[in-house]
């Protein structure tokens, strides 16, 4: 039984989705973001995703999580001439990280680009975080989980800059990629953070301000549905608990299958 419209994916390949390589993320930027925005423009989807209800098209929690992340990362895809590849190029990491750390924080979700690729990427990355903060407010997410988002990410990029400044960083990066590990490429850093924050937005949008209250309500429904059938009730309650544990474990929308 899929009480909330999804279950933990049984596909081993899907369970590795949180470890998407940079090439796969670039494909998301190049193909899925434009398609998603076209669906929004054509009125096929409620926008932003965090305002959907379960009865809306793609109103399940997996889609809200996935689409909220697309909404955040779209700013990077909008950089003039679609020059977002430097985010994934090892040789460009020192320049990308330096430009981000030089960029003054802003609170905009409607942005103007400067014509300088590195500066524009930094502006776009910050706008993505601002969008997620805005969605957190709309969805009623726990504000403590979004407090200091930009300052924390700035610390992370500072550590990444130190990593790339060390001798042999390029060789270490190549070795890590060959072994399936994740060096601190800027594209991976923002994708991971956007994914984490989009999950918090999706949880608040789907369950309300309290997941615990949503689960308690579902338990009451099950008790009524299986009244007089204790074995079936216990089985349903166990599955509900596993469903919620699966959501907590999920690192990426594709870890949940509809």
Whether 128 is covered by a domain: the verdict is yes
**pLDDT at 9 (0 to 100):** 40
Whether 80 is covered by a domain: the verdict is yes
Q: What does pTM read for this prediction? A: 0.85
Q: How far apart are CA 55 and CA 238, in angstroms?
A: 26
Whether 224 is covered by a domain: the verdict is no
Residue span of the structural domain in which 164 resides? 8-210
| Residues above pLDDT 90, as percent of the chain | 60
Structure-block tokens of residue 147? 């407090």
pLDDT class of 162 with cuts at 50, 70, 90: very high
pLDDT class of 258 with cuts at 50, 70, 90: low
pLDDT class of 173 with cuts at 50, 70, 90: very high
Q: How far apart are CA 177 and CA 208, in angstroms?
A: 39
Whether 121 is covered by a domain: the verdict is yes
Check whether 208 has a pLDDT greater than 70. yes
Closest by CA to 121, choosing from 88, 158, 87, is 87
The total of structural domains in the chain comes to 1
Q: Tell me the helix, strand and coil percentages in the chain, rounded to 5.
A: 70, 0, 30
Whether 95 is covered by a domain: the verdict is yes
Check: CB of residue 131 under 8 Å from CB of residue 137: no
Give me the residue label for tokens 């460009």: 92
Structure-block tokens of residue 129? 């975080």
Whether 219 is covered by a domain: the verdict is no
Whether 253 is covered by a domain: the verdict is no
Give the CA distances from residue 41 to residues 34, 37, 44, 232, in Å, rounded to whole numbers and listed in that order.
10, 6, 8, 45
SS3 category, 137: helix
Phi, psi at residue 7, to the nearest 5°? Answer: -145, 170
Q: How far apart are CA 105 and CA 152, in angstroms?
A: 12
Whether 79 is covered by a domain: the verdict is yes
User: What average pLDDT score do residues 19-30 get?
Assistant: 80
Residue-wise pLDDT tens digits, 175-188 = 998 998 889 999 99
């Amino acid at each position: 039984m899929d009480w909330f419209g999804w279950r933990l994916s049984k596909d081993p390949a899907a369970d590795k989705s949180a470890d998407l390589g940079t090439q796969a993320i670039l494909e998301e930027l190049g193909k899925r973001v434009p398609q998603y925005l076209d669906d929004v423009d054509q009125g096929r989807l409620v926008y932003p995703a965090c305002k959907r209800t379960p009865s809306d098209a793609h109103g399940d929690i997996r889609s809200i999580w996935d689409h909220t992340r697309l909404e955040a990362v779209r700013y990077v895809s909008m950089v003039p001439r679609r020059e977002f590849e430097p985010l994934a190029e090892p040789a460009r990491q020192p320049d990308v990280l330096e430009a981000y750390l030089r960029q003054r924080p802003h609170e905009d979700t409607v942005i103007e680009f400067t014509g300088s690729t590195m500066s524009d990427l930094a502006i776009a990355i910050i706008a993505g975080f601002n969008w997620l903060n805005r969605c957190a407010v709309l969805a009623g997410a726990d504000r403590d989980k979004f407090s200091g988002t930009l300052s924390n990410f700035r610390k992370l990029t500072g550590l990444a800059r130190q990593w790339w400044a060390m001798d042999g960083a390029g060789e270490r990066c190549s070795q890590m990629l060959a072994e399936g590990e994740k060096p601190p490429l800027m594209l991976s850093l923002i994708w991971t953070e956007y994914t984490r924050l989009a999950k918090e937005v999706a949880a608040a949008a789907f369950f309300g301000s309290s997941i615990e209250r949503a689960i308690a309500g579902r338990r009451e429904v099950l008790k009524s549905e299986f009244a007089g059938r204790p074995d079936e009730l216990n089985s349903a309650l166990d599955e509900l608990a596993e469903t919620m544990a699966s959501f907590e474990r999920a690192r990426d929308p594709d870890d949940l299958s509809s």
